[in-house]
Structure 1
Amino acid sequence: MNIAITFGFFLPVPPARGGATEKIWFNLGRRLAARGHGVILYSRTWEDWPLVEQTGGVEIRRVPGWNHRARLWQNLLLDLRWGLRLRRKLPRDAVIISNNVFLSILLRLPPSHRAPVCVVLGRMPKGQVRWYGAVDRIYATSEAVAGKARQENPRATDRIKVLRNCIDWPAFQGAPGHQPSAPLRIGYAGRINPEKGLDLLARAAGRLAREPDLPSWEVVLIGPVRTADGGGGEAFRDSLQRLARDCGAGERLRFLPPAYEPAELAGFYRSLDLFCYPSRAEKGEGLSVAPIEAMAAGAVPVLSRLDCYTDLIRPGKNGVIFDHRASDADARLAAELASLLRDAERR
C-alpha cells in the first residue's frame, strides 16, 4: 500500500524542533514502512535540508511553509494555503493521512482524490468536522475529541475512530537522572504559551514557598518560547518569571532551553519527581503527549481537569487531577503538589 502522511506548515520532519504530531507520525511512518508499505512524508522545508530525503525506510518530501503565527485565524489561513500546495503534489494512488484542517476537504473537491482520505484530529475540533462528510476515516486522539467530532457531524459517527497518541515507551525508561540529595523537582515540558496555564503553576509555586514543612523543591520548565515555534513569546516568559518572584517563589522557578533531542528530553523527564501540566486549553488539547512521556519516565503527573485527560489518568491510581476552572485553582494545585512532596510513597 502507498501511504502519504502530511504534517503542518511550521515544524520540520524529522522533528528537530519538537512537535507531538511530528514525533508521533514520523515514528508511525517508519513503522508502516517496516511492514512493507511505501510511505511518503510531506513536511515544510527547513534550513539547508534537502527537498527529498530517504531516512528510516520512508521518503520525506519538503514543501515551502511558514512560521507559526500568534493568532488562530492567521494559522488557519496558512493551513488553507498549505493544503492547496500539498493537494497538487500528493500521489493520486496513495492513502492520505492528513494532520491538517483543510487538506482532507480539498482532496474531496473535483477532481476527487482516488484513494482513501483520512484526517487526524490532534486537537479539539472547531467546526471543521461538519465539512468532513466525504472523508473516509476521522481519527480522534481521545474520547473527548471523538465526542466533540460526533456532535459536529453526527452522520460521520461510524467513521470516527479513537486513535490515541502513542510514544516510544522504552525510550523514556532508565535510572533517575538526579541525585537523591538534590531538591525534589516539579517539571513542565511543552510550549511556553498562555493556554498552558503556567501562571497557575507560578502562583502555586509561590504558595509552596510559604509552606513551612516541605522538603527542598524546585520547578523547572522547558519548551519553545518564540511565537514562530508555537510559544507565547519572550515577554510572556518574562512575565511568568516576574509573577513567580512576586508570589514568593524567588529563584525556585526557572526556565531551561527546549530539549529537542530524544535522549536529552528523556533525561529531563527522568530528572523529575512530579510533572505538572496545568493546561487551560479547553478548546485545544486533544491528548497531550508530554504527560504520557513523563509517566513513562516515572514522574507523577498532576494535570488540569480537561476532558481529554480522562483517557489517561485514574485519580489516585496513576496520577492527580486538579480543578483548573475553580476560582482558587492555584491553591488547589499547590495543595496537590504539597501533598505529593510530603509523601514519598505516593511519588
Structure 2
Amino acid sequence: MDVSRKTRTVNIAFVSNVVYPYVKGGAQKRIHEIGRRLAADGHDVTVYGRHYWDGPRVIESAGMTLQAVAPEADLYAGERRSIPEAIDFAARALPSLRSLLPAREHDLVVASVFPYFPVLSTKLATLGLDVPVVTTWHEVWRDYWEEYLGPLAFGGKLAEYATARVPQLPVAVSGVTADRLAGIGPDRDRIRVVPNGLDTEQVRSAPLPNDPAEGYDVLFAGRLIEHKNVDVLLDAFDSVATRHDATLGIVGDGPEADALRRRAEGLDASDRIDFLGFLDEYEDVLGHMRVADIFASPSTREGFGITFAEAMAAGCTVIGATHPHSAADEVIGDAGFLAEPNTGAVAAALDRALGGERPDTDPQERADRYDWSSVATQAERTYERAIDGDW
C-alpha cells in the first residue's frame, strides 16, 4: 500500500461464495490479497462466503472478518462448476446480507461476478441502502459458453448478460475484459480496470527444484484445455528443439492431457518433452519458472493471464499469443514476445528467445507493476471513488 498517502477509514464488504485460503483460486485469492492489505492500512474488511473453515461462523483471519452466510458445498459437478451450488449460495446469502450489510454499516460492497447469481442477491440485499455495489469481472465468456456448456449454453449466456445489466460499478481485470463486458452491458467509460496481482517476492524466493537437471529451457504452466493451444506449442517446439538443444516442461492437467501426450510421443523431439502433471504446491510451479529461460503460452483466451506476470517476475523471457480475447499483450507489453497463435509464428518466437534475444524491457521490472501492494492501492482508490460517487 502507498503508506505516504493518507486515507480515511472505510468499511468494505466482499461477497464471494468461496473464501481463500480454504478454497484456492484466482478470484478468491484476489479478495484475500487486496482485503488483507486494506485491513493492514486501517480499513474494516469483511468477507461473506460459504463456511469452509472449521469453527464458528464468524472468525478473524489476516486482519479481516470472515462471515459464513451459507454452509460448505461442493463447487464442481464433474469437470464443470456446479450451477445448483451457485443458485443455492445466492439464495442462502440474500437474507443474511439483507440484515448484516446495514447492521455493520458497510460503506461499499464488492461482489465477485462468477458465478453470477451472487451479484443478483447482493444487489437485492442493498436495495434501499445508500451502499454502492462494485463488481469484479475476471472474464466475459460470451460465445465460449457454447464450448463449456454445449446445449445448455443459452443459460450461461443469459446469466452473464443479465448480470452485466444489473446496475453496478464494474471493475475489470484487464482492458480486454472491459471491452468484452462493454459489448453486453455497461458503457466502456463506466468500467474501471484494476489488474490481478502476485507477490513478486514470493516468486523470486521460491525454492528451486532439488535437482537442477529438473529445470527446462522452455516451460508451460496452465490448464490443459483447448484454447491454451498447447498442441501449437508442442509442434512449434519440435521444429526448433534440436537446433537449440532445448527441453520443454508442461505443468498442468486437464481434459486435453491424454491427447497432448499422444501428440508429443509422435514428435521428433519427444525425448525432450516432459509432462509434469498438476503440481500441488504453488511454489513448486514458481521454482520451475525460476530455472526456466522461457515461458511460453499461446493461449487465445486470457481475461488477464497471471502466469505471464509470474513468469516475468521469475525472470523468464515470456512468449504469448496475440488475440482479441487475450490480455497477453497488456500484461507482457514489450517485456516479452508476442506471436500469432499458429505453429510457424510461435516457432519463430521460440527461435528468437532460445537464440539469446531478449525483450526491450526487463521482465522483472514489468512484473513489479502487478505486485499485490500496487494492485491493492489501485483498488483502494477505485473503492473510494465509488463511495464518493466519483465513478
TM-score, length basis structure 2 = 0.71
Task: Find the partner of 1:319 among 336, 346, 365.
Answer: 336
Give the match for residue 65 of structure 1. Answer: 73
Give the match for residue 312 of structure 2. Answer: 295
Q: SS at the partner of 2:38?
A: helix
Task: Find the partner of 2:203 among 164, 172, 190.
Answer: 172
Query: Which of the pair is proportionally richer in helix?
Result: 2
1-side partners of 2:352 and 2:52: how far apart? 45
Q: 1:40 to 1:262 in 2, by over 3 A?
A: farther
Q: 1:35 to 1:83 in 2, by over 3 A?
A: same
2:296–2:319 CA contact under 8 A, matched in 1:
yes
2-side partners of 1:43 and 1:132: how far apart? 21
Q: 1:185 to 1:136 in 2, by over 3 A?
A: same
Match runs of 1:235-250 below 5 Å: 236-250=256-270
Task: Find the partner of 1:147 among 159, 179, 184.
Answer: 179
Give the match for residue 124 of structure 1. Answer: 140
The amino acid that maps onto 2:202 is: A
1-side partners of 2:202 and 2:65: how far apart? 24
Aligned residues: 321
TM-score, length basis structure 1 = 0.79
Residue by residue over 1:137-177, the C-alpha shift from the partner in whole angstroms, topping out at 9 and shown as x without a partner, is: 100111111122222225x4453111111222222225994
2-side partners of 1:175 and 1:5: how far apart? 30
Give the match for residue 190 of structure 1. Answer: 222
2-side partners of 1:131 and 1:180: how far apart? 48
Give the match for residue 377 of structure 2. Answer: none
The amino acid that maps onto 2:347 is: A
2:135–2:169 CA contact under 8 A, matched in 1:
yes
Give the match for residue 304 of structure 1. Answer: 321
Q: 1:146 to 1:76 in 2, by over 3 A?
A: farther
**Structure 2 unaligned spans of 5+:** 1-9, 143-156, 364-391
Task: Find the partner of 1:106 among 121, 135, 139.
Answer: 121
Q: Return the offset for 1:250.
A: 1.6
The amino acid that maps onto 1:342 is: G
Match runs of 1:49-60 below 5 Å: 52-60=58-66
Q: SS at the partner of 1:312?
A: helix
Residue by residue over 1:3-62, the C-alpha shift from the partner in whole angstroms, topping out at 9 and shown as x without a partner, is: 2223355xx511664x22222221111011112222222444558687544221113345
- 1:25 paired to 2:16: no
1:176–1:271 CA contact under 8 A, matched in 2:
no
2-side partners of 1:306 and 1:200: how far apart? 14
Residue by residue over 1:51-78, the C-alpha shift from the partner in whole angstroms, topping out at 9 and shown as x without a partner, is: 5442211133454232334677x65554
2:251–2:285 CA contact under 8 A, matched in 1:
no
2-side partners of 1:264 and 1:71: how far apart? 24
Give the match for residue 228 of structure 1. Answer: none
Q: SS at the partner of 1:320?
A: strand
Residue by residue over 1:198-240, the C-alpha shift from the partner in whole angstroms, topping out at 9 and shown as x without a partner, is: 221222233234x4x21x32211223x3xxxxx43xxx31221
Task: Find the partner of 2:193 among 162, 165, 168.
Answer: 162
The amino acid that maps onto 1:343 is: G
Q: SS at the partner of 1:92?
A: helix
Q: Return the offset for 1:337.
A: 1.0
Q: Percent identity?
A: 25
1:45–1:51 CA contact under 8 A, matched in 2:
yes
1:124–1:148 CA contact under 8 A, matched in 2:
yes
2:16–2:118 CA contact under 8 A, matched in 1:
no
2-side partners of 1:182 and 1:345: how far apart? 23
2:216–2:288 CA contact under 8 A, matched in 1:
no
1:207–1:247 CA contact under 8 A, matched in 2:
no
2:219–2:292 CA contact under 8 A, matched in 1:
yes
- 1:271 paired to 2:286: no
Q: 1:345 to 1:310 in 2, by over 3 A?
A: closer
Q: SS at the partner of 1:171?
A: helix
Q: Return the offset for 1:111.
A: 7.0
2-side partners of 1:139 and 1:255: how far apart? 36
